[in-house]
Chains A and B, each alone.
Chain A
Amino acid sequence: AQSVTQLGSHVSVSEGALVLLRCNYSSSVPPYLFWYVQYPNQGLQLLLKYTSAATLVKGINGFEAEFKKSETSFHLTKPSAHMSDAAEYFCAVSDLNQGGSEKLVFGKGTKLTVNP
């Protein structure tokens, strides 16, 4: 079964600084990978996904992530943080249920704080 590790439950950056949120997955077989964002008191919104096409994936709101098979990583970056980026971010990987159907396995989340 897949597992996802997000390093750092809380990350704090200054406005305008680089955002780097780390995600590592467990499988040696390249899965499908996703980043979701959750703004306070809201649901989950898809930021971007990796589906075995380009290894550098661009998403919404200026975010991007790079799939690195050798490192089993899918880190999320944004060159310049904005106050509106403050939210919780979840990395997720596709996996199979015991019955053979599919599911998402989520990391525990990283809460991003952006300081003025």
Chain B
Amino acid sequence: EAQVTQNPRYLITVTGKKLTVTCSQNMNHEYMSWYRQDPGLGLRQIYYSMNVEVTDKGDVPEGYKVSRKEKRNFPLILESPSPNQTSLYFCASSAGILSGNTIYFGEGSWLTVV
């Protein structure tokens, strides 16, 4: 079964305490990305990766880092979380969408920074 798995699903943390949200896909997709969802704003892309060791900024990258050391994993790192990073985060993977392929999303990670 095609899956994108994120962990943790729910997290409350304090300002400044580094955290990592993991993402793993089992479809051998080259393309992975992170989005955040905020009320009234829809989903906005944070970072994306075209392949192993190839990453780039999306629309709202400030305060985030990513890495892509293996094809299946694409962790999102918040080095020093702040309250404005309280959001719902989605990891996504695809074989590429410009050919019309589907983007698969994880179930989301609710992050609260206090």
Binding site for B on A (CB under 8 A): 4, 9, 32, 34, 36, 42-46, 49, 51-52, 90, 92, 94, 96-99, 101-104, 106-109
**Chain B hits for A108, CB < 8 A:** 40-42
Q: From residue B100, how far is it (CB to closest CB) to chain A in Å?
A: 3
Q: B31: which of A32, A51, A102, A107 is its contact (CB, 8 Å)? A: A102
Binding stretch for chain A, among B11-19, B44-52, B66-74, B76-84 = B44-52
Contacts A51-B100, A90-B42, A90-B43 given: A103-B105 contact, CB under 8 Å? no
Number of interface residues of B (CB under 8 A): 26
Contact indicator A42/B107 (Cβ below 8 Å): yes
> Which residue of chain B has its CB nearest to the CB of A44?
B105
Additional A-B contact list (9), CB under 8 Å, known A101-B50, A106-B42: A44-B43, A52-B100, A90-B42, A98-B56, A102-B31, A103-B33, A103-B45, A103-B97, A109-B42
B75 at interface (Cβ–Cβ under 8 A)? no
Using CB atoms and an 8 Å cutoff, list the residues of chain B in contact with chain A: 31, 33, 35, 40-45, 48, 50, 56, 58, 90, 92, 96-100, 102-103, 105-108
Interchain Cβ contacts within 8 Å, total number: 64
**With known contacts A97-B56, A109-B42, A102–B105 Cβ distance under 8 A:** no
Distance (whole angstroms) from the CB of A72 to the closest CB of chain B:
18
Give the one of A32, A43, A92, A104 with max B CB within 10 A: A43
Residues of chain A contacted by B44 (CB below 8 angstroms): 106
Do residues B45 and A43 form an inter-chain contact, with CB atoms below 8 A?
no
CA distance A88 to B45 in the complex (A): 19
In the A-B complex, the 4 residue pairs with the smallest Cβ-Cβ separation, listed nearest first, are A51-B100, A43-B107, A106-B42, A44-B105
B31 touches A101 (CB 8 A): yes
Question: Which of these, B58, B106, B107, B108, contacts A103 with CB under 8 Å?
Answer: B58
Q: Assess whether B58 is in contact with A99, with CB atoms less than 8 Å apart.
A: no
Sample of 8 A–B contacts (CB below 8 Å): A32-B100, A36-B105, A42-B107, A49-B102, A94-B97, A99-B56, A101-B48, A104-B103
List the B side residues contacting A107 at CB < 8 Å: 42
- Measured CB to CB, the closest approach of chain A to B20, in angstroms, equals 19
